Amino acid sequence: MKYLGLPLGAHFKVQSIWDPVVEKLERRLARWKRLYLSKGGRLTLIKSTLSNLPTYYLSLFPIPASVAKRIEKIQRKFLWGDSEEVSNFHLMNWDHICTPHSNGGLNIRNLRRFNEALLGKWLWRFGVEREALWRQVVVAKYGTMEGGWCSNMPTGTHGVGLWKFIRAGWDKFSRMLKFEVGDGTRVRFWDDRQGDSIHREVTFSHLAQDWEMESFLSFLEILYSVTITGIGEDKVYWLPSKDHIFQVKSYYDTLTCKREGWFPWKSIWKAKVPPRVAFFTWTAALGRILTAENLRRRHIILVSWCCMCKADGESIDHLLLHCVYAKELWDLVLAMFGMCWVMPGSVRELLAAWQGKMACG
């Protein structure tokens, strides 16, 4: 028996309840594979359709790691054009692809992080929807922590798996919360974050000495910076959002690891060019185009010269910027716009220079 497409009473770890999601993805792909699509077009389809198909399930159940790997494998093979007969080169690992554009990724959702962000909404709702029936059921079964912002941690081995999994994310989730004291009935002074700088584990081992007064006064300033109205109920705010209301996107962004370094993503993804051109430029900026040099690194034996000028080694920067034929083309294009330009040493430096011009213009 099913309700809203989900089998009633099924355990979320049973892979069979996820089979409809995987099968739906595979049916879509079977239809799309008959079409000639560029990698830019494939990327657009993954973002607009494939990533959105399992959202309903992900908002209700923790996805098993094996199911997440199956779905990501389907997406990965579709992006790079794999089939049963042909296995193409995968130019970038999937973890990097799932990072934001600003970090050099393709901004495809990581399923497990997206799942965690969607389930975080239940933690938020537990704290603010005090009269909701589902919350009352959870409270009756597990009880609540002091203040009622979250339930106690479920114990036992039967009938607790789903909420136990969701509740396990509270420690990470609560770091994104800030509390405003109203009547003081729910906020715990030492445990619930109220200001921006109060440490949760402040201890006083002795009375303040004269030489400690400056630090003591600074601490008092922090305490006085917390506004206590004494009016209305205590409130909770979601720090990553400007309106302080929980948003799945903002939580997903906080869960996504930010890589160090700078990447000229605006010159690639903000430019008014077809998706296939943007995708090619992205691979060039990351040094992943399958030139002779890169193919040799993959242990494919080829001659090392440039396929056009037959002179230097065929690196990406040489092929696109410094080959004599590439220079002639660049000179022609720049002359059409009446521009004088000293060509940078690499594709990434060129895109960075363009991004700087876009910002100034």
Q: What pLDDT does residue 361 have?
A: 47
In a domain, 139, yes or no: yes
Q: Which of 109, 128, 144 is the last residue of a domain?
A: 109
228 has pLDDT over 80: no
CA distance 359 to 267: 10
CA distance 169 to 156: 18
Q: What pLDDT does residue 33 have?
A: 74
Q: At what angle do helices 133-142 and 111-128 cross, to 10 degrees?
A: 90
Residue type, 325: Y
SS3 state at 151: strand
Q: How many domains does the chain have?
A: 3
Give the tens place of pLDDT for each residue, 289-340.
999 899 988 888 888 888 888 887 889 999 999 999 999 999 999 999 888 8
Instruction: Give yes or no: residues 231 and 269 share one domain.
Output: no
Answer whether 275's CB lies under 8 Å from 38's CB. yes
Q: Of residues 343 and 221, which shows the higher confidence score?
A: 343
Average pLDDT, integer, range 12-38: 81
Return the closest-CA partner of residue 320 out of 294, 358, 359.
294
pTM of the model: 0.81
Which residue range is the domain that position 9 belongs to?
A: 2-109
Half-sphere exposure of 284 (CA within 13 A, CB side): 20
Q: What pLDDT does residue 272 have?
A: 92
Q: At what angle do helices 347-360 and 275-285 cross, to 10 degrees?
A: 120
End-to-end CA distance of the chain: 61
Residue 244 region by backbone torsions, left for phi larger than 0, else alpha for psi between -120 and 50, else beta = left
In a domain, 260, yes or no: no
Q: What pLDDT does residue 255 have?
A: 93
Q: What pLDDT does residue 29 have?
A: 78
Give the tens place of pLDDT for each residue, 183-193.
666 666 555 55
Instruction: Give yes or no: residues 164 and 101 share one domain.
Output: no
In a domain, 210, yes or no: no
Q: What pLDDT does residue 281 have?
A: 96
Q: At what angle do helices 248-255 and 111-128 cross, to 10 degrees?
A: 130
In a domain, 350, yes or no: yes
Q: What pLDDT does residue 187 have?
A: 67
116 has pLDDT over 90: yes
Give me the residue label for tokens 């003081």.
Answer: 184
Average pLDDT, integer, range 5-23: 76
CA distance 89 to 167: 41
